Chains A and B, each alone.
Chain A
């Protein structure tokens, strides 16, 4: 599904990712953990094609094709989805209108018919129930005035509707209360499947007890320094990252 090889990325001339290598197979849920500033969001942005990130060397293959050759909107249409750490507000545009525009852009690219308003609304309402999202939010302006939890649910709703093959969730658990965390996790778990992979970026083991990962990778100073199963997250919770820093320097 995703194959990152020796990736080096600079932002404003400053190297952030320094030889990152990572393999994600179809159907796999991989957690990425790591201290603040280690480059997790940078990785998410590079995968989704945000401007301002300079790939100085290395490669990314996504479903066998050169991901870096695609523009941001093409990656989205090909199935890369990013659940934003800080979802963006778009004043004056209704949430439902925005989502339908996105869904249809993606569907057309994938050779599917556009959803008409009725079919779209039906599908959207169903998915909203899944993440226990207030139906009123469909009519509100995109993320404008949404609470932190509402924004995160909205991201998962979009993910469900856009049916990506690779979903990158950047700290989707931050700012969620316990109930919201459960609802969002249920939503994510429902989307697990053999043809969909997920990169779950988080600081906390708690999320991973709901969304149980197949693998855990530790990103430190721009590289994956160690990988393991779900137990690794527990170990990190107990010991922090310091014990790994020696490895990073080595």
Chain B
């Protein structure tokens, strides 16, 4: 079966399932109000409790103001100009042939080694790709996952098929009142992924979802909820891409992770949302709330992320270490180029006894970009013997970019042990010359040195992702030398 027919079948299957019933009128007009939320909820056929949850969140959001403490600057977002619901459309909206697609995008795909099948490419641009990908994963492996008792489905399906689980855990880690963007997400989220790993189960494969921002003027508000029951394990991969557009697109996702006793969740992200062009036109505003709760004793959550995209990033994947002996990890590579701005980091909250956390952050700034690492470590009075190790390194390429480190440390228990190391460096002329003298050109030499700089994070990524991450860095660094 060719990719085309497979795609068609899968997408049609989705429509057949009656999920998106009204394909023609699939985008609600821009604007946000209780009526719009009721409309979204109705379109999705949601139960009453979920509508109530949305409305509560919306009312809370109305009382909140957009945070300004992050070290990023952007034109105010007009929340009434955004359309809050857009289901996949039939083809005909996006480019009609490859000739109409921006050659830069094609080039990027080629370099990433992603085969450009015309239909698939076009499908991606008109909003089916993400659906296609996640559906295919679920379909192909559904049998195997079902055998293990693993639930992996879209958030909407989870609401329909496993309402008790969703009701129990939704908002339990990131409450709808948590922050401005999380409240907005809770009010208007359209879809996302749901994972439940039953007690004692080691998920037999890595679960992956590709997100795509597609239609114009639609914010992307997805919601991911992963629950790992006692003694279970799961590795989850999140990949993100977005087509190139001149307008800024808002993306405000919420990811909640729950690890019960002895459970482990490994959450890896490779994010390359469109960063805008070299003059800072366009690009994604990525205002994301990601948080994991180590609820059970000896549970573990680790975040690994490689971020090269988005015009503006506001993102702090965090761990609440409640269970005794629970472990939180954060491994991050963030690369900013041109006019990108990133304010990113993590927060580790130690509550349980002997809780441990590790933070390794590698920031690479190039062009005129601006990057801030904001990292918090909080040791509560109950956290006897808690330990944290933080290592925070910045690499500057060129002289017009900036990198700042803002650590917040709050210790309420005297038995805690904290270590913090921070470095800022440049690629030295000697290193560069050494590589050149061995026959590498300037671009390969830079890539090699930058990859070396990121090694501690890359080795935490699953194999296929590590390769993709390396290629992505190389792409993002293009034009920074010579």
Contact = CB atoms under 8 A, between A and B. Distances in A.
Contact of A82 (B437, B444, B449, B453): B437
A139 interface: no
Interface string B443-466: 011001101111110000000000
Given A92-B455, A105-B441, A73 B436 contact: yes
Given A87-B434, A91-B452, A92-B452, A51 B440 contact: no
A93 B439 contact: no
Nearest to A77: B439
A141 interface: yes
Q: By DSSP majority rule, is chain B's interface helix, strand, loop, or mixed?
A: helix
A51 to B, nearest CB: 7
A88 B430 contact: yes
**Count class of interface residues, chain A:** 20 to 34
B73 interface: no
Contacts of B206: none
A187 interface: no
B35 interface: no
B438 A50 contact: no
Most buried by A among B428, B445, B448, B454: B448
Contacts of B428: 88
A162 B436 CA distance: 13
B66 interface: no
A101 B444 CA distance: 9
Contact of A106 (B439, B453, B454): B439
Most buried by B among A72, A82, A158: A72
Contacts of B21: none
Given A51-B429, A92-B456, A73 B439 contact: yes
B441 A73 contact: yes
Contacts of A105: 438-441, 444
Nearest to A71: B436
B15 interface: no
B440 A88 contact: no
A51 B433 contact: yes
B10 interface: no
Given A72-B433, A105-B444, A92 B438 contact: no
B433 A50 contact: yes
Contact of A93 (B437, B442, B448, B456): B448
A73 B443 CA distance: 11
A73 B440 contact: yes
A102 B452 contact: no
Contacts of A106: 438-439
Given A48-B437, A81-B437, A88-B431, 15 more contacts: A49-B436, A51-B429, A51-B433, A71-B436, A73-B442, A76-B436, A90-B449, A90-B452, A92-B453, A98-B435, A99-B438, A101-B448, A105-B439, A105-B441, A109-B439
25 contacts: A50-B433, A52-B429, A73-B442, A76-B438, A76-B439, A77-B439, A84-B437, A88-B428, A88-B431, A88-B433, A88-B434, A90-B434, A90-B449, A92-B453, A92-B456, A93-B451, A93-B452, A98-B435, A98-B438, A98-B448, A101-B444, A101-B448, A106-B438, A106-B439, A162-B439
